[in-house]
A and B are shown apart, each in its own frame.
Chain A
Amino acid sequence: MGMKNKKDLAKFRETVIEKYPNKVAKKRAKAIINNDPENIPEIQANIRTIPGIITQRGCTYAGCKGVVLGPTRDIVNITHGPIGCGFYSWLTRRNQTSTTSDADENFIPYCFSTDMQDSNIVFGGEDKLKQAVREAVELFNPKAVAIFSTCPVGLIGDDVHKVAEQMREEFDNKINVFGFSCEGYRGVSQSAGHHIANNELYRNLIGNDDTMVGSAKYRINMLGEYNIGGDAFEIERIFEKCGIQLVSTFSGNSTISSFEQAHTADLSLVMCHRSINYVAEMLETSFGIPWIKVNLIGADSTAKALRKIAAYFEDDELKAKVEEVIAEEMKDVNAAREAVLPKTTGKSAMLFVGGSRAHHYQDLFEELEIKTIAAGYEFGHRDDYEGRRVIPSIKIDADSRNIEEITVKRDEKRYKERMTKEKLEELQKQVDLEYNDYKGLMPQMEKGTLVIDDLSHYEMDKLIEMYQPDIFCAGVKEKYVVQKMGVPLKQLHNYDSGGPYAGFKGAINFYNDIAMMVSTSIWKEVKAPWEKEEMIEAVYAC
């Protein structure tokens, strides 16, 4: 294992940037940080990608349509653009959904596209888009249609918002049609798409329906949980067991009505801070719903999150129930953990994933006694690394300046203070609620570990060569690169078709999957017997 000597890690930045052209080296140096949790260094993040460097990043459309809106089953999502964007985001993220019967709407297995042709680029695509909406409505009769802009749409000046408005009128406002200006070139990564998605969710869906569904006690929203591999199902199971009413999930296993009623909850939990913190803030400003940061990845973290909820509601009955559930669930969790620890203890991991999992999964690795020696996001902002305390000092640069910031006002009719600020602060002192706060990835990582933003292929290659981690976590583009080097790669976007990994049952799944990965026999067979030196010696000895 390469982590015997922490000094080794300190060499990484110098070694790696040597290879880059000067200007590139200067820029990348600021994104490769030797961590110090006591004195958190500033990291460069959320800036433009260096052309040609081989990034892991995707685009704004992916962040908006693919990530945030993709998981909602009853919206017809039409991609306005040439066929690729719709095709590549067709079922490729594993956001599962579950309906009670075939009578329920589920459009997730479908890909809808205006399939723009060159004539649409030349003469504009608005008429085709309108006709596509009409055809979708005739064939699928949905409650809502969402339109997603791709690169050329912004350039040729098609106005998807105007089209949406006209179509709403054409359907006598019986079908909610809305658009997203999520052209791929906006911002610098998927992150801009999250922001755009958040804004339009707020404008077009949140607060549309005052119906109070379910129990009036302990009503929560789960924000930034996309039900990859059934994570949200497990979370739903746990909350139900505790008697906690889940009003909405943004947006795993979600429906339009769950978004529309989100303002009737009394607390928002933020899982993926990066993708949904905007909605969390807007729900608080408009309706008075406080938000707290939680992590439901890891059994101990799940227990911690449940205790935070119980503390917030200040209800002894709930507190007792939560403790009972934790005790019951932890029996299986502990047994599973004990069984795999001999295989996992003392190993090392590296995590380079999207905008939240590179942090969240460190909890699971800690439970397995595996040390994270390097981690980073594709598109996290400084607050995701250093904590929200740095937000006032973040400068929005020219590349992200055009991402719309919407100003949200208090909804005078429906704003309700759930808990006074004083009370929240008092609670915050007693329990680490992380109210309105996220401490970021860096404080959790040990001194001397590496934190790298927007990791390039070259840097990944060098990381593995220099430090030989026992397991590397990233996505599908990295998977087979890393495995060719004889290092197993756990995909933390799609879980390698596994999961769920959230909650208690998810923790057990993860323990077992990681134990399997670090002890799979085939890694020992990478060299042919006749290529091994001892074999040749043996031949001579004969």
Chain B
Amino acid sequence: MLLRHTTPKEIDRQALTINPAKTCQPVGAMYAALGLHKCLPHSHGSQGCCSYHRSALTRHFKEPVMAATSSFTEGSSVFGGTANLVQSINTIFTVYEPDIIAAHTTCLSETIGDDMTAIIGKAKDDGVVPEGKHVIYCNTPSYVGTHVTGYANQVTSFVKSFSTATPKKKNVVNLVAGWMEPSDMAEIKRLAKVLEARTIMFPDLTGVLDAPMDGKFHMYPNGGTTLEDMAATGDSKFSIGMGPYSTEDACKTLENKCKVKFEMVDIPIGLKATDRFLMSLSRHANVPVPDEITNERGRLVDLIADSARLLYGRRVALWGDPDTLIPLTEFLVSLDMRPVYVVTGTPGKLFDARMKEILEKVPEAKFKSGERADMFQMHQWIKQEGVDLLIGNTYGKYIARDEDTPFVRFGFPIMDRSGHNYMPKTGYQGAANLVVQILGALLDHEDRTCSEEKIELQM
């Protein structure tokens, strides 16, 4: 047994987190920053963080993940990191020539209280920020919230730094993308195109963390929201924020700054969340939903109807980030599956409220968020009463093997499989991908473990 020390016996833990269902802020800020064109993320802290965050993203995407660091030493940790950041900015613009440096902080620079505005101001005074180049930042203390919070903070900094309102609003809808895969963003952009809606997506990881191999290393790939588009978000007539945990802050900031009204929707994962997203986009972009999309929806409904008996009543444990868990749990319920255990390490009341509402039909369900809402807790619940399916990141494979439970990889990080960043989970097409993956996991397990006389040639 891999997790041989995990037993069903729970104690009331007050201090110890075991096998977290979250990580810390800066990796989210780094990820989001890569969604701006010609932007280099910068970690203002000691260099270990930056290496860890780059490695985590690289392991997930199997793609280059570039970022620089202030490389604090003990001296700068005591006397402040001003000189480090100013020197970083100089080195980065001279050697790596980005258009934008998007800095974030760590628990180190936050604890010592480095004043980022002042330091960046000093860098400008010192003349190390070339004409037309930008240094933006967000505060991302690792001891507050999680990686999702860091993502949200970085997206908000884009708005603070670049969104500009001119007197003329344009018939454009901002699509503020919560933490999802590049493939998910691509799928959402495809849907918007089919609707003929004029949109600006930010951040936009497509083309960045799913870049082609062409024999050259492109430090700044073709993808990413451009500075022009980012500035233009202030002139859009509306914003749709996908995933309240990762985008609500940015939407509110944009409303306050540029008077762009907004609506929050879930990341369009599953049937109903996609329905709501499309209706929101259709309404705010003032475009009808074409038959092509209605047909896509119909195909998904068809697939679910065809597979219903295999999904009905199956108990599922899932873990991950609230913005994806909420629509995913809702989708599972709409498949008549029973999401009995749901944990996210990311704190917040919204998750609890939405779960309560979504899981009304699953009275036995347990869910938890925030500190100590970890995979150890979830595994203890599984030990008490088992499940038919696990859905979550790579760390679930240890539970899947110990408990001999079918497992679908979903969320961040997925380090032990490749290609997941090419396959969307959003939209009707993404929902179909998910159903196919779920069925595959359930049926493969059935075929492997049932008695020989029960082997079925057909569904």
Q: How far is the CA of A47 from the CA of B87 in the complex (A)?
A: 16
Does A486 lie within 8 Å of B215, measured CB to CB?
yes
Q: How far is the CA of A140 from the CA of B18 in the complex (A)?
A: 11
Chain A to chain B contacts (Cβ below 8 Å), 7 pairs: A52-B92, A82-B143, A83-B20, A114-B16, A184-B48, A484-B211, A484-B217
At the interface, yes or no: A186 with Cβ under 8 Å from chain B?
yes
| In-complex Cβ contact of B1 among A55, A102, A115, A485 (8 A) | A102
Q: How far is the CA of A482 from the CA of B53 in the complex (A)?
A: 19
Does A52 lie within 8 Å of B88, measured CB to CB?
yes
For the complex with contacts A50-B87, A185-B72, 10 further pairs of A-B residues with Cβ separation under 8 Å are A56-B51, A57-B51, A58-B47, A102-B4, A112-B17, A116-B143, A120-B143, A475-B55, A480-B64, A526-B215
At the interface, yes or no: B279 with Cβ under 8 Å from chain A?
no
Given contacts A106-B4, A484-B217, A186 and B74 within 8 Å (CB-CB): yes
At the interface, yes or no: A68 with Cβ under 8 Å from chain B?
no
Q: Contacting chain B: which of A17-25, A283-291, A419-427?
A: A17-25
At the interface, yes or no: A4 with Cβ under 8 Å from chain B?
no
| In-complex Cβ contact of B142 among A24, A83, A402 (8 A) | A83
At the interface, yes or no: B436 with Cβ under 8 Å from chain A?
no
Q: How far is the CA of A393 from the CA of B69 in the complex (A)?
A: 31
The proximity string for A residues 128-153 relative to B, scoring 1 for CB distances below 8 Å and 0 otherwise, is: 11111011101110000000001110
Does B74 lie within 8 Å of A402, measured CB to CB?
yes
For window 48-87 of chain A, which residues contact chain B by CB distance below 8 Å? 48-62, 78, 81-87
Instruction: Tell me the minimal C-beta distance from B384 to chain A in angstroms.
Output: 15
Inter-chain contact total with CB atoms closer than 8 Å: 262
Question: Which chain A residue lies CB-closest to B72?
Answer: A185
Question: Which chain B residue lies CB-closest to A114?
Answer: B15
For window 63-79 of chain B, which residues contact chain A by CB distance below 8 Å? 63-77
At the interface, yes or no: B171 with Cβ under 8 Å from chain A?
no
Does B55 lie within 8 Å of A526, measured CB to CB?
no
For window 520-536 of chain A, which residues contact chain B by CB distance below 8 Å? 526-527
| In-complex Cβ contact of A55 among B20, B69, B92, B106 (8 A) | B69
Does B65 lie within 8 Å of A477, measured CB to CB?
yes
Question: Which chain A residue lies CB-closest to B212?
Answer: A484
Given contacts A82-B143, A84-B23, A118-B144, A52 and B74 within 8 Å (CB-CB): no
At the interface, yes or no: B13 with Cβ under 8 Å from chain A?
yes
Question: Which chain B residue lies CB-closest to A81?
Answer: B107
At the interface, yes or no: B265 with Cβ under 8 Å from chain A?
no
Instruction: Tell me the minimal C-beta distance from B183 to chain A in angstroms.
Output: 17
Given contacts A20-B91, A117-B371, A184-B48, A84 and B74 within 8 Å (CB-CB): no
At the interface, yes or no: B94 with Cβ under 8 Å from chain A?
yes
At the interface, yes or no: B59 with Cβ under 8 Å from chain A?
yes
Instruction: Tell me the minimal C-beta distance from A197 to chain B in angstroms.
Output: 15
At the interface, yes or no: B52 with Cβ under 8 Å from chain A?
yes
At the interface, yes or no: A458 with Cβ under 8 Å from chain B?
yes
Instruction: Tell me the minimal C-beta distance from B412 to chain A in angstroms.
Output: 11
At the interface, yes or no: B218 with Cβ under 8 Å from chain A?
yes
- Residues on A with C-beta less than 8 A from B3 are 109-110
Does A111 lie within 8 Å of B143, measured CB to CB?
no
Does B91 lie within 8 Å of A483, measured CB to CB?
no
Does B74 lie within 8 Å of A135, measured CB to CB?
no
Does A51 lie within 8 Å of B69, measured CB to CB?
yes
- Residues on B with C-beta less than 8 A from A480 are 58, 62-64
At the interface, yes or no: A335 with Cβ under 8 Å from chain B?
no
At the interface, yes or no: A12 with Cβ under 8 Å from chain B?
no
Q: How many chain-B residues does the 8 Å CB contact rule pick out?
A: 84
Q: How far is the CA of A129 from the CA of B14 in the complex (A)?
A: 10
At the interface, yes or no: A88 with Cβ under 8 Å from chain B?
yes
Q: How far is the CA of A306 from the CA of B84 in the complex (A)?
A: 48
Does B74 lie within 8 Å of A117, measured CB to CB?
no
- Residues on A with C-beta less than 8 A from B2 are 109
Does B63 lie within 8 Å of A54, measured CB to CB?
no
Q: How far is the CA of A152 from the CA of B71 in the complex (A)?
A: 15
Q: How many chain-A residues does the 8 Å CB contact rule pick out?
A: 91
- Residues on A with C-beta less than 8 A from B14 are 128, 131, 135
Does A51 lie within 8 Å of B15, measured CB to CB?
no
- Residues on A with C-beta less than 8 A from B56 are 88
For window 369-389 of chain B, which residues contact chain A by CB distance below 8 Å? 371-372, 376
| In-complex Cβ contact of B71 among A51, A475, A479 (8 A) | A51
| In-complex Cβ contact of B90 among A21, A117, A398 (8 A) | A21
Does B68 lie within 8 Å of A139, measured CB to CB?
no
Instruction: Tell me the minimal C-beta distance from B86 to chain A in angstroms.
Output: 8
Instruction: Tell me the minimal C-beta distance from B137 to chain A in angstroms.
Output: 14
- Residues on A with C-beta less than 8 A from B457 are none
At the interface, yes or no: B335 with Cβ under 8 Å from chain A?
no
Does A481 lie within 8 Å of B64, measured CB to CB?
yes
Q: How far is the CA of A48 from the CA of B70 in the complex (A)?
A: 11
Instruction: Tell me the minimal C-beta distance from B145 to chain A in angstroms.
Output: 9
At the interface, yes or no: B293 with Cβ under 8 Å from chain A?
no
Given contacts A110-B3, A526-B213, A477 and B73 within 8 Å (CB-CB): no
At the interface, yes or no: B424 with Cβ under 8 Å from chain A?
no
- Residues on A with C-beta less than 8 A from B64 are 480-481, 484
- Residues on A with C-beta less than 8 A from B73 are 48, 185, 187-188, 399
The proximity string for B residues 375-418 relative to A, scoring 1 for CB distances below 8 Å and 0 otherwise, is: 01000000000000000000100100000000000000000000
Q: How far is the CA of A262 from the CA of B115 in the complex (A)?
A: 49
Q: How far is the CA of A184 from the CA of B74 in the complex (A)?
A: 9
Instruction: Tell me the minimal C-beta distance from A45 to chain B in angstroms.
Output: 15
At the interface, yes or no: B350 with Cβ under 8 Å from chain A?
no
For window 13-58 of chain B, which residues contact chain A by CB distance below 8 Å? 13-20, 22-27, 42, 45-49, 51-56, 58
- Residues on A with C-beta less than 8 A from B62 are 480
A residues engaging B (CB < 8 A)? 19-21, 24, 48-62, 78, 81-92, 102, 105-107, 109-118, 120-121, 128-132, 134-136, 138-140, 150-152, 154-156, 183-188, 398-399, 402, 456-458, 461, 475-477, 479-486, 526-527
Q: How far is the CA of A121 from the CA of B111 in the complex (A)?
A: 7
Does A111 lie within 8 Å of B19, measured CB to CB?
yes
Instruction: Tell me the minimal C-beta distance from B14 to chain A in angstroms.
Output: 5
Instruction: Tell me the minimal C-beta distance from A170 to chain B in angstroms.
Output: 14
Q: How far is the CA of A476 from the CA of B395 in the complex (A)?
A: 19
Q: How far is the CA of A58 from the CA of B217 in the complex (A)?
A: 23
- Residues on B with C-beta less than 8 A from A399 are 73-75
- Residues on A with C-beta less than 8 A from B211 are 484
- Residues on B with C-beta less than 8 A from A107 are 5
Given contacts A52-B88, A84-B52, A117-B371, A151 and B46 within 8 Å (CB-CB): yes
| In-complex Cβ contact of B371 among A55, A61, A115 (8 A) | A115
Q: How far is the CA of A184 from the CA of B70 in the complex (A)?
A: 13
Q: How far is the CA of A55 from the CA of B70 in the complex (A)?
A: 10
Instruction: Tell me the minimal C-beta distance from B350 to chain A in angstroms.
Output: 19
Does A151 lie within 8 Å of B74, measured CB to CB?
no
Q: How far is the CA of A185 from the CA of B72 in the complex (A)?
A: 6
For window 131-188 of chain B, which residues contact chain A by CB distance below 8 Å? 141-144, 146
At the interface, yes or no: B317 with Cβ under 8 Å from chain A?
no
| In-complex Cβ contact of A118 among B26, B88, B141, B218 (8 A) | B141
Question: Which chain B residue lies CB-closest to A57?
Answer: B47
Going nearest first, the 8 A-B pairs with the smallest beta carbon separation are: A59-B48, A84-B24, A52-B88, A52-B91, A131-B15, A88-B52, A82-B142, A115-B17
Q: How far is the CA of A130 from the CA of B376 in the complex (A)?
A: 20
Does A115 lie within 8 Å of B372, measured CB to CB?
yes
At the interface, yes or no: B241 with Cβ under 8 Å from chain A?
no
Does B107 lie within 8 Å of A151, measured CB to CB?
yes
- Residues on B with C-beta less than 8 A from A188 are 73
Q: How far is the CA of A351 from the CA of B320 in the complex (A)?
A: 37
- Residues on A with C-beta less than 8 A from B1 are 102
Given contacts A84-B23, A135-B13, A477 and B55 within 8 Å (CB-CB): yes
| In-complex Cβ contact of A58 among B51, B75, B108, B143 (8 A) | B51
Q: How far is the CA of A265 from the CA of B55 in the complex (A)?
A: 38
- Residues on B with C-beta less than 8 A from A61 are 48
| In-complex Cβ contact of A84 among B13, B26, B59, B65 (8 A) | B26
Does B5 lie within 8 Å of A110, measured CB to CB?
yes
At the interface, yes or no: B353 with Cβ under 8 Å from chain A?
no
- Residues on A with C-beta less than 8 A from B218 are 484
